[in-house]
Structure 1
Amino acid sequence: MESFIMQTYTIVLPIILGYVVWLLKNQKRDRDANSKGTMLLLRVQMIEYHEKWIARGYVTKHGLENFIEMYDSYHDLGGNGVATQLLEEVKELPIRG
């Protein structure tokens, strides 16, 4: 009986571990894709806000707060310096409203 349990254990354990590794790799791939998509959406939105506010000549207090939060999220996801330049330009705008 002990021999049967050991044989079963040595066969089943690698299969289970292999499946767990496969699941983790797929989850990582999905997380990476979600992070990249989120980062792209944030960048597009920050570019749109930047263009709108630069053309308008000012930013609202809430708009600036939202932009900073978007920038922080973008940066945390690994975003590059493009957003930093946008943030600095938006911060230079006068605040109204």
Structure 2
Amino acid sequence: MNEFIYNDWLAVVTLAIQAGLLKFAYNIYKDYANKEKNRDCAIRGLLRVEIINICHNAEKEGFLPIWALENLTDMYNTYKALGGNGAITGLYNKTIQLPQRKEDG
């Protein structure tokens, strides 16, 4: 074994450096993936709050403004794409059934 290390010390050192670089690269990737997951959760949470606000306002008013329908649909689709659960789906489906109205500017 000592003869192997003595004869191939450059290969051993190179292998150790490569292992260290791989571990470093993996840690960078893991950190990036964790931040991306947290960012998605934060965005999903913000979308959820805004979807609920639009739906509750529309229910209170008894109609859904056209601009709100467009925003609601975009937010709902993004929320689902980010892994949003089905609790919002019922609220969304109920809200889009409300009468739609074009508001005067």
Partner of 1:72: 77
Q: How many residues align?
A: 96
Cα separation, 2, equivalents of 1:65 and 1:5: 64
Partner of 2:49: 44
Cα separation, 2, equivalents of 1:72 and 1:5: 55
Runs of 4+ in 1 over 6 A off after TM superposition: none
1:14 aligns with 2:19: yes
Structure 2 counterpart of 1:79, one-letter code: G
> Of 71, 91, 95, which residue of structure 2 is paired with 1:86?
91
Cα separation, 2, equivalents of 1:39 and 1:9: 45
Cα separation, 1, equivalents of 2:79 and 2:37: 14
1:25 aligns with 2:22: no
Cα separation, 2, equivalents of 1:58 and 1:91: 9
Indicate the structure (1 or 2) with the bigger Cα radius of gyration. 2
Task: Give unmatched runs, 5+ long, in structure 1.
Answer: none
Structure 1 counterpart of 2:98, one-letter code: L
Identical columns (%): 25
Partner of 2:68: 63
Task: Give unmatched runs, 5+ long, in structure 2.
Answer: 1-7
